[in-house]
Structure 1
Amino acid sequence: MPVTLDRREGPYGEVVLRRRDEHFEIIANGTFLMDTSDGRSERLLVDAALRALGGTPGARPPGDDRTPVDRTAGGGLAPGRAGARPSVLIGGLGVGFSLAHAAADPAWGRIAVVEREQAIIDWHREGPLAALSAAALSDPRTVLLHTDLVAYVRDPDVTDTYDALCLDIDNGPDWTVTEGNDGLYSPSGLAACARRLNPGGVLAVWSARPSADFETSLRNAGFSGVRTEEVPVARGVPDVVHLGVRPA
């Protein structure tokens, strides 16, 4: 039986952290989001984006891998620039698999992670999830942004751009956690995501099931190279990562 470790009421509803045997689960408004039992699809989300940029997961960057990384707003490194490491925006923090995987890969430059729930940030900074993410959060390339992802990508005053957007804030484009998240997958939301990407940048969206309609939405929004990568699961429909490239 699961054991509830923490329960919070926030501006977006209830968030719960549970432990089931040796694993942790995050529940939002009664909907299961994710747990620590696997993490393959969260890692594929990051690796698929890097491969779409022409990189190789785990590869050393050109030249000295201690090259300083620009951590200022908009400090992303454009794809294809000699000696540059691509920047990535991860939304959200979740159980930390995507962030930890990106931070463990020297191929990435600036790593920004957006999380709107203070409870989840607390669980990573000083709670049970710190064991998964402490090293990644202390990595000098990492910037934690406590804000709503949908608002962040739409904010006209935000000037940050990235080479990759790796989004995992819902169970998929057709199965959102809160009603307001629907706007992220709408034509205007995808246009906002494109504005957050450098030319040639990659949008990668995790989903618990494939969505042919979302592939069509990506193409209609002007993304090229649209495709879906599957992640086999023990039972049922595979998890997937939807990918699209902002034309250069």
Structure 2
Amino acid sequence: MRPWELLDTASVPGEGSELRLYRRGDEYSIKSGLVELMNSRVHGSEDALAELACRQLVDHKQSKVLIGGLGMGFTLAAALQNLGAEAELEVAELVPAVVAWNRTLLAEVAGKPLNDKRVSVHEGDVGQLIRSQSSHYDAILLDVDNGPEGLTRKENDALYSPAGLKAAMRALRPGSLLGVWSISPDRGFSERLKRAGFAVEEHRARARGRHGGGRHMIWLGKKGQA
């Protein structure tokens, strides 16, 4: 078997941990320590996060969508496919190198979604961006770390805390959606969503889409109209 080739490394701002980008043939992997955070052959559940949320938006043409976590661009690419020509998508990515990789080394992996004129990029903490807005987004999609039980950055836990969910509720327009991806189920998080005022749907999605793989968890939390 062909060995993995290390293409680049990047420091995570504020904590000093390192991300490493690897390639083996046409397969790419991003790791933190011994943990593989994402793989270009395993993105079915990331696609499903965007598809499930965007299909429920009342106005697909002019929706404003925030995506927390760029990764390899698959969630963004799926959202673009399910939204209209006048939609606005903002991607918040903490690690500048991940944005650079998506414009260069990883550009072809998800079909160059950053080149779409509907997309803008915020290089910074998605939590700070959420807290700065009020009744602004039609959907917020969080694909950060490995979900509510983060493995790589402790600060990510704040996104999924009661205070973080209340901030997301404030940033959303009436009738809009919060979508959350997780590597595994978490009954406690479902209850936190409900206590924050969301009507909750739980979905399981295959890691490799139609080709199977493990089942990952997706929550959709809907904000009421009033």
Shift of 1:31: 2.7
What CA distance in whole angstroms lies between the structure 2 residues aligned with 1:90 and 1:214?
A: 19
1:204 corresponds to 2:204? no
Provide, for residues 133-160 of structure 1, a one-character-per-residue CA deviation record: whole Å limited to 9, x for no partner. 56421222111111111222223xx457
Q: Name which of structure 1's ranges 6-15 and 140-149 shifts more when overlaid on structure 2.
A: 6-15
Runs of 4+ in structure 1 displaced over 6 angstroms? none
Partner of 2:191: 216
- 2:147 corresponds to which of 162, 168, 172: 172
Partner of 1:244: 221
State how many pairs are aligned.
Answer: 216
What CA distance in whole angstroms lies between the structure 2 residues aligned with 1:183 and 1:106?
A: 29
1:230 corresponds to 2:204? yes
Q: 1:32 to 1:115 in 2, by over 3 A?
A: same
What CA distance in whole angstroms lies between the structure 2 residues aligned with 1:116 and 1:97?
A: 17
Please give the root-mean-square deviation of Cα atoms over the aligned residues, in Å.
2.0
- 1:44 corresponds to which of 36, 48, 53: 48
SS for the counterpart of 1:137 is helix
Shift of 1:47: 0.9
1:122 corresponds to 2:84? no
1:35 corresponds to 2:30? no
What CA distance in whole angstroms lies between the structure 2 residues aligned with 1:107 and 1:141?
A: 9
What CA distance in whole angstroms lies between the structure 1 residues aligned with 2:123 and 2:144?
A: 14
Q: 1:215 to 1:52 in 2, by over 3 A?
A: farther
What CA distance in whole angstroms lies between the structure 2 residues aligned with 1:30 and 1:14?
A: 11
Unaligned segments of structure 2, at least 5 residues: none
Partner of 1:8: 10
Partner of 1:70: none
What CA distance in whole angstroms lies between the structure 2 residues aligned with 1:213 and 1:96?
A: 29
* Identical amino acids, percent of aligned pairs: 35
- 1:100 corresponds to which of 77, 82, 86: 77
Partner of 1:63: none
Asked whether the 8 Å contact 2:150–2:156 carries over to 1, the reply is no
Shift of 1:38: 3.0
Q: 1:84 to 1:6 in 2, by over 3 A?
A: closer
Shift of 1:191: 0.5
User: TM-score of the superposition, structure 2-length normalised?
Assistant: 0.87
What CA distance in whole angstroms lies between the structure 2 residues aligned with 1:159 and 1:203?
A: 14
Shift of 1:84: 4.9
Unaligned segments of structure 1, at least 5 residues: 54-78
SS for the counterpart of 1:241 is strand
SS for the counterpart of 1:111 is strand
Partner of 2:168: 193
Q: 1:36 to 1:193 in 2, by over 3 A?
A: same
Partner of 1:87: 64
